[in-house]
Structure 1
Amino acid sequence: MTRQLTTQNATITTATIQVQALTIGKKQVTLAVFRQLEDANIINPLDAGLAGEPWGRVNYHPDKCADEREHLHVVWEKDGELRRATVYEPSVASHRHLRAGLYIEALIADGLRHSHCGAEAGAPDRLQVVRSRTGGNVGFARFMHHNVLFHGPVRTEFTTAFYDNSARSTQHEDLWHRLRHVAGPEVTSESIAEQLPALGYTTSWRRLKEAPQLFIAV
């Protein structure tokens, strides 16, 4: 039976809030020391899992990036050494992954063109396909997949086809031949999409977001 709250049985207690400070020996780490930590990516580029053990978040923006897209600054450990990392929220992450580029190449080989974007059912959300600005052999694509923004290299023959509105079956066949030479003989756009680590990135972000906040000295 639920007891009724009354002035006789109610009490007021003071909660204890734990503050965790990052220290070296007995001295609290300063901003200058924090800036000296090696800046290294804690997100594994292959599976988007964590590349080391996170110690916590630091509410300090050493590169004056407080007003940029949403992100965290994390202190983490790898091979017995402390490092710092900047990790972006999934929808603005622009996580670079080789399969991201291959996925867009597969869609282009399937017939996706710039003129179809927004109307073509197979076009990913927020798709950008950019040709090489230096005249090289590789451009890039950026797009949203399962609420994670991905980024990947796209070869020139595919970016050229993307902006070519003519649909020629021989062109599709040639593009698929080039793609399967790299990605495998049985690959499809669906099978490549399944290999994009959207869940891995989201899980890593959630874990870092829930990590304790570490305080450093001014």
Structure 2
Amino acid sequence: MTGKQLTPQNATISTASIHVQALTIGKKQVTLAVFRQLEDEEIIKPLDAGLAGEPWGRVNYHPDKCSGDKEHIHVVWQKGEELRRATVYKPSVAAYRHPAAGLYVEALIAEGLDHRDPRTSGFGDASRIQVGKAEREGGVGFTRFTYQGVQFHGPVRSEFLTVFRNHYFRQDQAEALWHRVRQVAGPDATSESIAAGLPVLALNTSWRRLKDLPQLFIAV
């Protein structure tokens, strides 16, 4: 079985006469069965949105049948001495989870954002700021929103979720919420400064680099 294991050492990319690139082990083209054995791991890093390893190419195949999903690509990449595969979504639909995403919306709530705000309305509108209760226990909320064309996702703490749902907003509440935000984001943080920390450029750059990779073909 070790002879069929797909690794950076025994895998190569060969180019046929019509310039079709194939992923191979030794001189044999990689099959779907071998490809499925690759560990599925994110290639885009969670903090700076850079790449976690060296991308090899795109593969138009996924074992879990994702043809109905939002726009995405499948990538083969190298992590150290091993190969991985990853599903990467277009930034506008990625729901990219980032620590600053939740803080940004918490800062907006401290400024007075609530469920009646026009920015949170419009069912099905991808540009609106969504805030709701997460499925897991503990009353922790979540947010999903689009900023400069990139969709982000992050947690919202329970006290912010409560204020977001409340019709009444007092000055002492705002001060308490800002204290919680600035404990994490810094003493002079504002919603604008927090938004500036969202890795919009890096995420778009990583997407373009992966989208421009050559397509690798796998034997049936």
Specify the TM-score bucket, using the shorter chain as the normaliser: 0.7 to 0.9
The residue aligned with 2:11 is none
Q: TM-score by structure 2 length? A: 0.87
For the residue of structure 2 that corresponds to 1:140, the secondary structure is: strand
Check conservation: 2:48, 2:202, Cα contact below 8 A.
Answer: yes
State the distance in 1 between where 2:114 and 2:215 align.
46
The residue aligned with 1:54 is 55
Identical columns (%):
67
Asked if 1:74 is matched to 2:75, the reply is yes
State the distance in 1 between where 2:47 and 2:164 align.
26
State the distance in 1 between where 2:67 and 2:52 align.
24
The residue aligned with 1:26 is 27
The residue aligned with 1:6 is none
The residue aligned with 1:3 is none
For the residue of structure 1 that corresponds to 2:180, the secondary structure is: helix
The residue aligned with 2:214 is 212
Q: Give 5+ residue unaligned stretches, structure 1.
A: 1-15
State the distance in 2 between where 1:128 and 1:199 align.
22
Q: Aligned-residue CA RMSD in angstroms? A: 1.6
Given residue 52 of structure 1, which amino acid in structure 2 is its aligned partner?
Answer: G
The residue aligned with 2:108 is 107
CA deviations on 1:29-67 (whole Å, 9 max, x unpaired) are 111111110100000111111111100000112111011
Asked if 1:191 is matched to 2:193, the reply is yes
Q: 1:140 aligns with which of 142, 151, 156?
A: 142
CA deviations on 1:13-32 (whole Å, 9 max, x unpaired) are xxx74111000111111111
The residue aligned with 2:9 is none
Q: TM-score by structure 1 length? A: 0.88
The residue aligned with 1:45 is 46
Q: 2:174 aligns with which of 172, 175, 178?
A: 172
Q: Give 5+ residue unaligned stretches, structure 2.
A: 1-16
Q: 1:150 aligns with which of 143, 149, 152?
A: 152
CA deviations on 1:83-109 (whole Å, 9 max, x unpaired) are 000000111100000110000000001
Residue 80 of structure 1 deviates from its aligned partner by 1.8
For the residue of structure 1 that corresponds to 2:56, the secondary structure is: strand
Residue 137 of structure 1 deviates from its aligned partner by 4.5
Mark the CA change 1:185 to 1:202 in structure 2 (over 3 Å): closer, same or farther. same
For the residue of structure 2 that corresponds to 1:167, the secondary structure is: coil
Check conservation: 2:119, 2:128, Cα contact below 8 A.
Answer: no
Which has more radius of gyration?
1
The residue aligned with 1:95 is 96
Check conservation: 2:120, 2:130, Cα contact below 8 A.
Answer: no
Given residue 37 of structure 1, which amino acid in structure 2 is its aligned partner?
Answer: L
